[in-house]
Amino acid sequence: MSLKDKIRHDNALRIFEKNYLRFCETDLAAKFRTVNRTLIAINLGLCGFAPEVPYDISKLERVGHSRILVYYSSKGRELLYPLPERYANVVSNQDIDQINSGMKKYKIIRVIKKRGCAAIINRIRGI
């Protein structure tokens, strides 16, 4: 597969993320795994997450169509991190409501891959 074909496939996956994945009943962890399989690695940049350390997500807040703030605990302090656009595109309002109400709990983990850094959300409790 040529690079042009890979980029075309990645762009199609972006459309899939925005139009289908956000609104399906799939678990948030599964949605993030789908994003992690994309061609272009999502660089977490200066996120402040130590590699392979799970952080409890206490709250999500949508501040734009493709912008979500993640509130998490670290060393007894409440910190926030803006999710990269690719991840924010797959988070539905229902996912946000479930996390904010405490119905579901997730942890966010920074994983170092060959292609760069990626975020993984693991479900730790639900109904």
10-56 pLDDT per residue, tens: 777 767 766 666 777 788 888 887 777 766 655 555 567 777 788 88
Query: What is the predicted pLDDT for the residue at 8?
Result: 80
Query: What is the predicted pLDDT for the residue at 24?
Result: 76
The stretch 48-68 carries a mean pLDDT of 85
Structure confidence at residue 101 as a pLDDT band (50, 70, 90): very high
Q: State the residue range of the domain holding 108.
A: 3-125
- Could you tell me which residue, 43 or 88, shows the higher pLDDT? 88
Structure confidence at residue 125 as a pLDDT band (50, 70, 90): very low
Strand partners, 113: 116
pTM of the model: 0.72
Cα gap 49→108, rounded to integer Å: 9
The stretch 77-88 carries a mean pLDDT of 85
Cα gap 37→120, rounded to integer Å: 11
Closest residue by Cα to residue 32 from 99, 97, 109: 109
Burial code (b: 16+ CB inside 10 Å, e: under 16) for 53-76 equals: ebbebbebeeeeeeebebbbeeee
Mean predicted lDDT score pLDDT of the chain: 76
- If one counts the domains in the chain, the total is 1
> pLDDT at residue 120 above 70?
no
